[in-house]
């Protein structure tokens, strides 16, 4: 069975994607910082789908934790897909740039960019060996559009997009997709903008866009989930 590593997988989009892959028979290595919530997710997937699901709680900024994620995948047979979904805002709620603490920006860059690259580097030998290895980095419309208070987070996601684009050039044997999932009702969005209680789509509603990438394997590049769901690229 193919094996996927998904970071930030205990809730939200990460969990929804894990559920969809488990339903297709994928074996999974799941990451999140809260052990109890992560194990509850992993246990639910094992019970529902019978696939092998390994929960590895920890912080993606820790190089030892990243190595543990890849080692767990190796024990399941390798790495066919790496999904960098774990994200940090840098400030909760979000702040204008004139008030954004440099430490907050560093945290966003460390989680969203440095850790994502470190995990790719750790997993590259197994991704290359898979033959059809793929990397998905979860982006944001804030990476391409200027929204007030989203500057630090958006800058980190723009940097992640560029890393993904270059990785796609440097690793032609892989597929490297940066995916903007669009608006979703997630804990991250609630923390970013706590006063916005307007209705938003559930994370599971955009998962078919990610599955389309895996099914059709288009060229490496940046894709928007809404367009993929509408049948466009």
Catalytic residues, by residue number, are: 153
Structure tokens at 24: 């297709």
Rounded-to-integer distance, Cα 68 and Cα 117, Å: 15
Contact 222, 175 (CB under 8 A): no
The helix, strand and coil proportions of the chain, stated in percent and rounded to the nearest 5, come to: 50, 15, 35
Phi, psi of 27 (to 5 degrees): -90, 150
Cross-strand partners of 138: 179
């Amino acid at each position: 069975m193919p094996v996927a590593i998904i970071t930030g997988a205990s809730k939200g989009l990460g969990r929804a994607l894990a559920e969809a892959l488990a339903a297709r028979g994928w074996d999974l290595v799941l990451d999140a910082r809260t052990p109890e919530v992560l194990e509850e997710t992993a246990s639910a997937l094992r019970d529902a789908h019978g696939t092998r699901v390994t929960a590895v709680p920890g912080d993606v900024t820790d190089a030892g934790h990243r190595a543990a994620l890849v080692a767990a995948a190796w024990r399941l047979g390798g790495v066919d897909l790496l999904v960098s979904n774990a994200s940090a805002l840098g400030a909760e709620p979000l702040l204008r740039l004139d008030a954004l603490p440099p430490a907050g920006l560093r945290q966003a860059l460390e989680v969203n960019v440095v850790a994502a690259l470190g995990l790719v580097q750790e997993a590259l030998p197994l991704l290359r060996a898979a033959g059809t290895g793929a990397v998905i980095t979860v982006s944001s419309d804030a990476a391409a559009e200027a929204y007030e208070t989203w500057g630090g987070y958006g800058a980190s996601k723009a940097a992640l997009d560029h890393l993904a684009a270059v990785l796609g050039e440097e690793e032609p044997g892989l597929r490297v997709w940066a995916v903007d999932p669009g608006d979703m009702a997630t804990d991250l969005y609630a923390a970013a903008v706590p006063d916005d209680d307007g209705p938003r789509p559930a994370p599971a509603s955009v998962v078919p866009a990610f599955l389309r990438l895996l099914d059709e394997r288009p060229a490496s590049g940046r894709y928007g989930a809404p367009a993929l769901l509408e049948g466009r690229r």
